[in-house]
Amino acid sequence: MALHGAHVMEWQPSSAPNPVLYLSPAAVLQEGKAIRGGIPICWPWFNARPGGQPGPSHGVARSQFWDLVSVTEDADGVTFVMSLVHESLKATATLALGDKLTVSLESENLGEESVKLSGALHTYLKIDEITMITVGGLAGREYLDTVGTPTRRTQDGPVVFEGELDRIFDHSGMIRVDDPGLDRVLQIEKEGSPSTVVWNPWAEKAAGLADLPDDAFKGFACVEAAIANEAAVELPPGATHRLGTTVSVAS
């Protein structure tokens, strides 16, 4: 865990023989930088800041230190609660680590005007080999393919990886990642998430990322609970919105 970004860096339930999250060995642990791997919190916007205003890509949450509100432990595991205020928005992250991993992000509008809210829980899943996995639950869904010229398409069957992949799906349901190399299925459930992002940079883009080994793209896939682009939520004064993801392991 890191207060930097309210970031789950690594997680492996006691019942699983292998780690579930991928953390780059070259990750930069420095305020102002996002940690590469684990579950970065993209908030309070997704991609570029709306309206052409200045601000880092994917918001400020993943590169700042959060305030630790509480840590509790019971038979189910350990729960961390952290908070961050940015302008008129307050974020509260609840991170529950046990046999399942749940990250819940509640946003509250403290201001007097409505705010457009977007973001993502950018989950890096550790897998055996990128060309061998499949991502199920998205067949028949429309998505925006952002590799090259952005194009709207419809998913045919499970998602497979044969090169750089960056797709934003219109999808709010469950996702299953079949990883035959590790003989397991990873299940991702979402809350308050009208978008699912599936991403892998592949060789050329991975080589251009200083905080990622050149061949590391082979060992992870990102499957994100998101509120992306046109799916942004209108948050009136005093209103709240909860974005959540739960990851579990099946054999």
Q: Which residues are catalytic?
A: 122, 224
Nearest 10 degrees: Cα torsion 132, 136, 141, 145? -30
Tokens of 45: 């916007």
d(CA 250, CA 237): 41
Radius of gyration of the chain (CA): 17
Grouping H, G, I as helix, E, B as strand and the rest as coil, residue 155 is coil
Residues 6+ apart with CB under 8 A from 35: 2, 4, 5, 7, 9, 23, 27, 28, 29, 62
How far, in Å, CA of 90 to CA of 118, rounded? 13
